[in-house]
Amino acid sequence: MGFFERLSNLWKGFLSLWVSNLENENPEVVYEAAINERVRKHKDLKKAVSNIVYLRNKLQEELVSKEKEFRDVNAQIPVAVEEGEDDVALVLIQKRDELAAAIENLSGELAKVEGQAEDAKAGLLAFQAEIEKLKRERDSMLAARANAQARIQIQESLSGLSTDADIAALDNVRQSIHKLRAEADVGAEIDGSSLDGKLKKIRERTASSTAKSQLEELKRQSAARKAGAAEGGVKKTM
């Protein structure tokens, strides 16, 4: 094998791989191309079938016309014989025989064409069914492909391997929110451990302790008043 032949084969191999990759990445285009090609062939086949049907119809009309003419000639022969028109009767007999032969030939040819027409129509219907089947396959396969892609995207998203722009954007938003919450938590922690925070806590405890002392003093005074009132009542009784 020569150098240029090897180079040609290599180039054909690269070209085949490139085309295969394009087909794998664009299955809808491949399906549409296949469907369109079948539709084009269907049109050609339909035109061929129409020619056969036209020939069949033409032979049927010609056969009907010959059969009518045969009946007319056959009916004229006895009249010519009865009237003694032998020369006319001979011509009519010859014409009748010619019509009989023509009718036989037309009948045989028509039978063949009718068979061809039926086969052609059946083939046309089968080809149409194949196109519809391919369309259903296209819809089913493209839906399966979309479903598989969605599942892969979800799996990649869950595993953290997705590189899609929308997934990356969501990750950035999530990280931003988490960072903002962490910043708020840090602020709260710093606020609690700072000098101002400590003073605030002491003031709160002091205020609470003072309130409690005042409450205790009020309770003591109330108890003393009650005790004094009770002692006065005893003295009056005595």
44 domain-assigned? yes
Same domain, 24 and 117: yes
Q: What is the DSSP letter of 85?
A: -
169 domain-assigned? no
- Report the number of distinct structural domains present in the chain: 2
C-alpha distances in angstroms, 211 versus 17, 128, 218, 221, 231? 88, 96, 11, 15, 30
173 domain-assigned? no
Q: What is the pLDDT of residue 11?
A: 43
134 domain-assigned? yes
Q: What is the residue type of 181?
A: R
Q: What is the pLDDT of residue 113?
A: 92
C-alpha distances in angstroms, 68 versus 8, 89, 96, 103, 106? 70, 18, 11, 10, 14
Same domain, 147 and 225: no
Beta carbons of 134 and 39 less than 8 angstroms apart: no
Q: What is the pLDDT of residue 155?
A: 78
Q: What is the pLDDT of residue 237?
A: 57
Per-residue tokens: 141: 């396969």
Query: DSSP per residue over 137-198, as a string?
Result: HHHHHHHHHHHHHHHHHHHHHHHT----HHHHHHHHHHHHHHHHHHHHHHHHHHHHHSHHHH
pLDDT digits (tens, 9 = 90+) for 103-126: 999 999 999 999 998 998 888 888
Q: What is the DSSP letter of 84?
A: T
Same domain, 26 and 125: yes
Q: Which residues of the chain have pLDDT under 70?
A: 1-25, 156-168, 186-203, 206-209, 211, 228-238
Identify which of 107, 30, 96, 40 has the alpha carbon closest to the alpha carbon of residue 69.
Answer: 96
Beta carbons of 74 and 96 less than 8 angstroms apart: yes
Distance, CA of 99 to CA of 73 (rounded, Å) = 9
Same domain, 127 and 207: no
Residue that is written with structure tokens 């050609």 in the block: 44
3-state secondary structure at position 95 = helix
Same domain, 25 and 122: yes
186 domain-assigned? no
**What range defines the domain where residue 61 resides?**
3-162
pTM: 0.49
Same domain, 11 and 81: yes
Beta carbons of 99 and 70 less than 8 angstroms apart: yes
The radius of gyration of the chain's CA atoms, rounded to the nearest angstrom, is: 54
Distance, CA of 215 to CA of 52 (rounded, Å) = 117
Q: What is the pLDDT of residue 15?
A: 47
